[in-house]
Amino acid sequence: MAQHHEWLGDVGSNSYADQLAVGFRRLRFTPLLEQEYLDFVRNDRFELQRTALPGAIVLWLGFTAVDQLLIESVERWWMLAVRLSVLAFLLVCGFLLIQRRYTQLLNPLTIACISVLGVGAAAVVGIAHGVDPSYPYEGLLLVCMAGYFLAGLRLSEALISPALMLSSYLLFELLVGIPTARLFNNLMFLLFGNLIGIVGCYLLEYKSREHFLISRLMRVLADHDSLTNLHNRRSFNRQLERLWRLAQRDEVSLALLICDIDHFKAYNDHYGHQAGDYVLQRVGQLLAQAGRRPLDMAVRLGGEEFAVLLYDISLDEAQQRAESLCAALEHLQIAHEASTTAAVVTLSVGVACLQPQPGGALTQLYERADRALYVAKGAGRNQVALACTAA
């Protein structure tokens, strides 16, 4: 299926946008993204699959009663034995699915339930056809449709149960000696019904995968700056609050580097906004490298102001990170003829580092780093200023 997401051209490169751009007609993502999708599907469809099983049990019991009405010979007891065996299996699976600690077994159990239903239904039909060729077999298609549409399975999983059911049906019908013409007619009906189910299941999974990618991409866009791909202020505020509590629990320090590109307005006025955007992107790349640990965060606060939030780090280490950033930007040698500080683009950085204490104000880390940045600017820019006291 062709992709029609022209708006992706305005989105920075990330795993979700890249996958949308190349498509997924074979219903597969890149390995890491595929695992993320499988986890998403398992959690998203947990309640659906748990709810579908009681419905299947009720329908199975209903067909059991129908068997007793349609078949009056001794074969109905064999049919009942098959029905009760399948029912026992469904009840065991239902007991396991009720408990959330077995979520990793959700899909295997669902596939097993539908497969057992299919094989059991095929056995019942085969037994019934031994005495009554007019016994309805169309119920087999209901089992297939449940696997395709009601059980929340992916296409590759949903195909297992119908394949087992059709093979079993063919075997049982051959054993009872159903006429070849009738068997061929029944198989064609079931096969074409399954073909419709396969197409429908493919479309459902395709849309599910597309929804997954777009929803995750929207979340990324909501929390990231579109120009630099760094986190935005909203994401920063949320992460700062979370790390503040975590640092209190672990009794470790947080450091915040607030960075400002020196004379950036003059740069924009002299070189133009397109060149200014390029500078912002290059600074963003440098900050992303500085905040690459799992709990660290690089942020574009707005305009030419950036920040790096660092978890469990000393003042000396935070200062070294800041000085490395300044040196790395100078090393890029981006000409800045309008600067009164240097001939190239430079950075001023304010550094604050503290260990959060119970009752301490969340804002104090930002306020101290901001004051330190003010000191760095007042001292001539293109330098690092520290502001670190016990909280």
Q: Token digits for 271?
A: 């070189």
CA neighbor of 110 nearest in space, from 193, 53, 25 = 53
Cα separation, 300 vs 283, whole angstroms: 10
DSSP code for 26: T
Cα separation, 259 vs 130, whole angstroms: 83
The torsion defined by the Cα of 75, 76, 77 and 80, in degrees rounded to 10, comes to 130
Phi-psi region of 242 (alpha: psi -120 to 50; beta: other; left: phi over 0): alpha
CA 332 to chain CA centroid, Å, is 37
CB contact set of 145 (below 8 Å; sequence gap of 6+):
193, 197
Q: What is the three-class DSSP state of 254?
A: strand
Which one is catalytic: 6, 34, 304, 337?
Answer: 304
Residue 378 CB coordination number (10 Å): 10
User: 255 near 310, Cβ under 8 Å?
Assistant: yes
* Residue 128 dihedral angles phi and psi, to the nearest 5°: -65, -40
Q: Is 304 marked active-site?
A: yes
Work out the widest C-alpha separation in the chain, in whole angstroms.
102
* Residues recognised as catalytic: 304
